[in-house]
């Protein structure tokens, strides 16, 4: 069943979204050549505790970590690992879900470790643009297929990348994963109609090569590209409104001004950003 959220519920999700976005802001100060991917997990756990946020991925279907940290050809669901040392030119994706006072938020962001190659920078740019192209389709009256259709056309037809099929976006709140499923491929005019008050994630995963994933890892979690190409992902949680899509996990309310639900978000983000910066200082050396 798809639930439509009230203004009170959306405000609570804004707060959770700001808490999550601030984690990503803190990671910008931490991710650099020479750190292990486990440092990302350590920072996230300490920050969430200080911010009063709950790491909802811990214990989800047996998953043990607050974050998913996926590097280079890893599409998603990579474990944070003490022996995985990030090096210059790597592409790392950090995905997590948090709740604050029972309100959920989900966001993934991609980070260049030092300076990446022009090829990988283009992959990052195209993936991020495809995220916002998909978000722009999230208006009442459109259908789920409209989101995936624009992402697929831009990433595959125009840029020759692979648009992952195995993993999709989803509804969110009152739990981590709700209906509807939100594919990042598809056809215009197909699927359920979008309605005011729906909260969903849009999270394209785009590969330099084939769209196909290798899910044979013994962990049962980690997914890699089938051909060894690199993969990129960006994800926002958003609410569909009669005034257009409103992002609930923005890291930059000024740049995303057209996507802001109200003025509360910027206030929440500033509060959590200060907490994230204090925690990040413990990891900067």
Residue ranges for the known binding site for a divalent metal cation are 95, 106, 170, 203, 235
In 3D space, the residue among 19, 20, 1, 4 whose CA is nearest the CA of residue 241 turns out to be 4
In 3D space, the residue among 91, 105, 87 whose CA is nearest the CA of residue 35 turns out to be 87
254-to-116, 162, 202, 260 alpha-carbon distances in Å:
27, 32, 20, 9
SS3 at position 213: strand
Within 10 angstroms of residue 122's Cβ, the number of other Cβ atoms is 15
Residue 282 backbone dihedrals phi, psi, to 5 degrees: -70, -15
Adjacent-strand bridge partners of 112: 91
DSSP-assigned letter for residue 60:
G
Asked if the bond preceding 94 is cis, omega within 30° of 0, the reply is: no
CA 129 remoteness from chain centre: 14
- What is the spatial distance between Cα 110 and Cα 284, in angstroms, rounded to a whole number? 19
Binding residue ranges for substrate = 77, 177
Binding residue ranges = 77, 95, 106, 170, 177, 203, 235
Adjacent-strand bridge partners of 107: 96
Collect all residues with Cβ–Cβ distance below 8 Å to 29 and sequence separation of at least 6.
277, 280, 283, 284
């Amino acid at each position: 069943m798809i639930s439509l959220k009230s203004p009170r519920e959306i405000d609570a999700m804004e707060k959770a979204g700001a808490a999550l976005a601030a984690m990503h802001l803190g990671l910008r100060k931490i991710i650099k050549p020479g750190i292990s991917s486990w440092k990302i997990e350590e920072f996230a756990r300490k920050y969430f505790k200080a911010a009063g946020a709950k790491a909802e991925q811990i214990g989800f279907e047996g998953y043990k970590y607050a974050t998913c940290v996926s590097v280079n050809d890893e599409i998603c669901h990579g474990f944070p690992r003490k022996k995985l040392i990030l090096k210059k030119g790597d592409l790392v994706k950090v995905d997590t879900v948090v709740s604050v006072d029972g309100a959920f938020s989900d966001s993934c962001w991609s980070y260049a470790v030092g300076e990446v190659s022009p090829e990988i920078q283009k992959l990052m740019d195209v993936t991020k643009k495809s995220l916002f192209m998909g978000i722009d389709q999230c208006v009442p009256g459109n259908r789920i297929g409209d989101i995936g259709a624009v992402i697929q056309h831009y990433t595959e037809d125009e840029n020759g990348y692979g648009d992952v099929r195995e993993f999709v976006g989803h509804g969110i709140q009152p739990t981590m994963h709700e209906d509807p499923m939100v594919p990042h491929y598809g056809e215009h005019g197909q699927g359920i109609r979008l309605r005011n008050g729906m909260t969903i994630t849009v999270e394209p995963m785009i590969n330099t090569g084939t769209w196909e994933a290798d899910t044979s890892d013994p962990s049962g979690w980690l997914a890699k590209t089938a051909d060894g190409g690199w993969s990129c992902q960006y994800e926002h949680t958003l609410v569909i409104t009669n005034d257009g899509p409103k992002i609930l996990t923005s890291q930059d309310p000024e740049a995303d001004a057209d996507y802001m639900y109200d003025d509360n978000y910027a206030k929440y983000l500033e509060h959590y950003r200060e907490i994230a910066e204090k925690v990040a200082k413990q990891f900067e050396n």
